[in-house]
Amino acid sequence: YNASVSAASADALSTIISGSTDATVAIWYDQSGNGVHVLSSSATAKIITAGSLLTMSGQPTIYFYGSSSFMTSSNSVNYSSQQWATVNAVAQNVSSTDSNSGIISVGGPEVIAGFSWGLNYDAGNWLSGYWVDGSGLWGAASGVQSTDPKVVTALIQQDAFSAIYVNSVLKGTKADNDHRFASNDVVFVGARGIYGDRKFIGNIAETIIFPKDLSSTEQAALESSQSIFLPQPPGVTITSSASGAVCAGTSVTFTATVTGISSP
């Protein structure tokens, strides 16, 4: 939402934004339940332009266009005990220029790059395409340069291995690297820290970080549909022990299953 247009609410975006109004994202809510929301200090990442929702492959997306158009988490995250991470993003490079154009990354308390790791895009001739950064050292590189939407998945082992998949196909591995998981990292979306021009120019629709290396089955499910890894909205489902009509006087058990409600 755009705070200058409307406060956040359950209203559909189409009821908040009308006519030729443009809207930018002020906050991207973490749907995992861990509360690691990412914020834009100047709210410049676009979601609506000329009154129309921006889409990628028919789905809503956020368009990052460099400069101050990136987001950082309001709280730090402690990944120090993790030995593995799987990072997934649905992204589309449009016109990224920096070799470290950050899609999603984590950095140290100085809120700069050079710490931990990042999933980047390189539009040049160095690592060419989607690749994994680790504390200033290059990790697995895909060699896939494109302006088409891609599902990108990276498996990262602390201080060691990395692999990168593009549209479910393994494109590169590296046996050693300096991937650090720190106790006070900050999450970036649309940037590799705040160094220079390390900003992604293009669309990012979804990102998920897992505190493990996904199995091949889990990864295949993730790359087919990220939605199955998101928690279901709060609700109650009632089922009956009877599958159809029953005679009067017959006992029937109704069972209520509650999701997303701590004290029903």
Per-residue pLDDT tens digits for 173-222: 999 877 777 778 888 999 988 777 889 999 999 898 888 899 999 999 99
Whole-angstrom Cα distance, residue 62 to residue 90?
Answer: 11
Quote the pLDDT of residue 68.
81
Quote the pLDDT of residue 28.
84
Please compute the mean of the pLDDT values over residues 74-79 and round it to a whole number. 82
Quote the pLDDT of residue 108.
64
Quote the pLDDT of residue 126.
79
Residue 262's pLDDT band, with cuts at 50, 70 and 90, is confident
Quote the pLDDT of residue 232.
67
Quote the pLDDT of residue 16.
62
Claim: this prediction has a pTM higher than 0.85: no
Q: Quick check: 19 pLDDT over 80?
A: no
User: How far from the centroid of its chain's Cα atoms is residue 139's Cα?
Assistant: 20
Q: pLDDT, tens digit, for every residue of 119-174?
A: 999 988 778 899 998 776 789 999 999 999 999 999 999 888 999 999 999 999 99
Report the b/e string of 19-37 with b at 16+ CB within 10 A.
eeeebbbbebebeeeeebe
Residue 95's pLDDT band, with cuts at 50, 70 and 90, is very high
CA angle 107, 225, 36 (to 5 degrees): 30
Whole-angstrom Cα distance, residue 6 to residue 262?
Answer: 30
Higher pLDDT, 37 or 134: 37
Residue 42's pLDDT band, with cuts at 50, 70 and 90, is confident
